[in-house]
Amino acid sequence: MKRGTAPSALRVVVSACAIVGALVLGGTTPALAQEASRGDTAWVLTATALVLFMTLPGLALFYGGLVRAQNVLSVLMQCAAIACLASLVWLALGYSLAFSSGGALDPLIGGLSKAFLAGVGPDSLTGTLPEPVFFMFQATFAIITPALIVGAFPERVSFATVLLFTALWLVLVYAPVCHWVWGGGWLAGLGAIDFAGGLVVHATAGTSALVFARLLGPRQGFPNELSPPHNPGLTMMGAAMLWVGWFGFNAGSALAADGLAGRAMLVTHISASTASLTWMAIEWSRYGKPSLVGLVTGTIAGLATITPAAGSVGPLGAVIIGAAAAVVCFEGVKIVKNRLRIDDSLDVFAVHGVGGILGTLLLPLLAGLGPLAPGLPEGRSVFGQLGVQAIGVVGVVIWSVVVSALILLAIRAVSRLRAPADAETEGLDLAVHGERGYTL
């Protein structure tokens, strides 16, 4: 007799007796208890740490290297404070609004039944994951999304405005859109595909950043007398951390340790690599010198653009998405700064907003292209899906623009959006936070 045969047989007999007994007594067949998958749980725990690593320290260092030396600590402070504040807002309201039932309002917003994780116990599951693990994974998305907006307003924003805007924006913009797409809302009902946040993360953050930059006004000296990035090396290190962390962002969104996660990781890497080289080539051909900042900006554009499509395309589609991301986002930077004359200082809209929207729209066109391409879900046509994706883009952009503008106008009515002019001149590190990034 092999080891384990007798206990297995005993369990079968006991289960059969329980079923027969229930039927004899007029009851119903007992449901087998669903258990969390240890493999899926281990992977999503790892992915959660990787996504938090994207904000702290990845995004903080990426942005910190791009500003003047006297503002580097202010950017790090904003990213760190947002991470803490977003975590508490997500616990109190955000998670429940995004992932619980909203009753009659369910197509638009969830309810408050899971506020402060009410009703979530140690055995609660979301799919094959313990619900606290799913909560934490989604919390890291809620952290990085408003942190992306930091790139729109460095060197001139009031720190109180950053905190107040973040709290309101998470509840009024991010949570509803998250519910629309991932929580069973109206876009989910239409069949919109957003694997890891092209709409939920990048379109919301990018368009809101553009509104914020427009209402806040430009930096002193914009556009002709701005200082160059004070530490491109710091920016490259931050970009490298973002690249690694993005594997948790995209591959973790499979919510399982399976082939889908592996393919999402593969196409994420290919898109980032292609976009980096394409951006470098554009810059090299136009300006005669390939810059480090340009290369890693291309990296982030490629990562943002593949995000919504990471579960829907193969490697060949990822190459096309990466190349398109570099070309379109590169032009987007010039349009925002030179034509619209909006000082979106670190190009949040051009890289994240445009990239997320572009990937969302390219997804149905490339879903069946080449090896490992899974194609669209059964019963969906390319142009039918494209129409749904376009509806998603329009809805998310309009909501993000209108609500972000209303939040900022409300804040401006009771406080000031900008730091004092002398603080801008001196630098926010010392004037606002009483610290210096460098003592030479």
Q: How far apart are CA 47 and CA 40, in angstroms?
A: 10
Q: How far apart are CA 407 and CA 160, in angstroms?
A: 14
Other C-beta atoms lying within 10 Å of the C-beta of residue 193: 24
Q: Which two tokens stand for residue 107?
A: 């197509």
Could you tell me the fold of the domain covering 58-421? Ammonium transporter fold (1.10.3430)
Is the peptide bond prior to 218 cis by the omega test (within 30 degrees of 0)? no
What pLDDT, on the 0 to 100 scale, is given for residue 18?
40
What pLDDT, on the 0 to 100 scale, is given for residue 224?
87
Other C-beta atoms lying within 10 Å of the C-beta of residue 6: 10
Global pTM value? 0.91
Residue 70: what residue type?
A: Q
- Which residues in 292-324 are b (16+ Cβ under 10 Å) and which e? ebbbbbbbbbbbbbbbbbbbbbbbbbbbbbbbb
Residues of the chain with pLDDT below 50 are 1-33
Q: Residue 132: exposed, middle, or buried by beta-carbon count in 10 A (0-12, 13-18, 19+)?
A: middle
Q: Which two tokens stand for residue 104?
A: 């009659």
What pLDDT, on the 0 to 100 scale, is given for residue 273?
98
Q: Residue 342: exposed, middle, or buried by beta-carbon count in 10 A (0-12, 13-18, 19+)?
A: buried
What pLDDT, on the 0 to 100 scale, is given for residue 226?
87
Q: Residue 351: exposed, middle, or buried by beta-carbon count in 10 A (0-12, 13-18, 19+)?
A: buried
